[in-house]
Amino acid sequence: MFQRVDHIGIAVRDLDAAIAFYQVTFGVAFTYRHTVESQGVEEAMGRVGESWIQLLCPLGSDTPVGKFIEARGEGVHHVAYGVADVHAVLGDLKEAGLHLIDEHPRPGSRDSTIAFIHPKSVGGVLVELVQE
Ligand code: V0V
Ligand code: CO
């Protein structure tokens, strides 16, 4: 079902500072920066091998990442797995009894198709499915 780790999403308060920190400290190159209005975030993607680090800065306090930072502070927000067919995987996970946040896939960054599974169904980890 999961083919690879596509990205790890990390909630940050200051995107410029976080990009600079990852670049200077860890040598991660950020090749992509974009606002995803529908998700309430500005994101920056840094390549690490075949995967990415996704730095997420909330556009407001009433957004998924804004609420997360207020409740828990900065830190790991979600794990995104690459799948061949998001629609098919959603069907399988629904049948398995998991709580889907997205019943239907929606557009993500980099022209991807994404869907989220509720953290309460995955031992406290928010999971994103990504189809390139
Ligand atoms: C909330 N909770 C989390 C969590 N966010 N647990 C683990 N990881 C997270 N990221 C916990 C929270 O502490 C509560 O636990 C419980 O879930 C329910 O919280 P809630 O207050 O009822 O729910 P909300 O309103 O905080 O919403 C949580 C969910 C929301 C996960 C439903 O954030 C959501 O719909 N997320 C999907 C969209 C998203 O995250 N977009 C931003 C990334 P207790 O206190 O009850 O124990 S955009 C992105 O990645 C893109 C565009 C991309 O990759 O292409
Ligand atoms: Co993501």
Q: What angle do CA 51, 53, 57 make, to 5 degrees?
A: 150
Strand 51-58 relative to strand 113-117: parallel, antiparallel, unpaired? unpaired
pLDDT digit string, tens, across residues 51-101: 999 999 999 999 999 999 999 999 999 999 999 999 999 999 999 999 999
- Cβ neighbors of 38 (< 8 A, separation 6 or more) are 106, 107
- pLDDT score for 41: 97
Cα-to-chain-centroid distance, residue 85:
17
Quick one: tokens of 81? 């797995």
Domain tally, the chain: 1
- pLDDT score for 123: 98
Residue 61 backbone phi and psi in degrees, to 5: -80, -20
Cα-to-chain-centroid distance, residue 5:
11
- pLDDT score for 59: 98
Which residue, 126, 78, 81, is CA-closest to 101? 126
- pLDDT bin (cut points 50, 70, 90) of residue 111 is confident
Quick one: tokens of 96? 């398995």
- pLDDT score for 119: 98
- Determine what percent of the chain is predicted with pLDDT higher than 70: 100
> For 8-35, what is the mean pLDDT?
97
**CATH number of the domain within which 41 lies:** 3.10.180.10
What is the average pLDDT score of the chain? 97
> For 127-132, what is the mean pLDDT?
97
Q: What is the Å distance from ligand 1's center to 74 Cα?
A: 13
Does the Cβ of 22 fall within 6 Å of ligand 1?
no
Does the Cβ of 6 fall within 6 Å of ligand 1?
no
pLDDT digit string, tens, across residues 28-37: 999 889 999 9
Q: Which of 39, 42, 77, 78 is catalytic?
A: 78
- pLDDT score for 110: 79
Tell me: pLDDT of 23 over 90: yes
Q: Are 83 and 2 in contact (CB under 8 A)?
A: yes
Residue 99 designated active-site: no
- Cβ neighbors of 26 (< 8 A, separation 6 or more) are none
Containing domain of residue 75, as a range?
4-131
What is the b/e burial string over 116-132, where b = at least 16 CB atoms within 10 angstroms of the residue's CB?
A: bbeeebeeeebbbbbbe
- pLDDT score for 108: 86
Which residue, 35, 27, 92, 2, is CA-closest to 15? 35
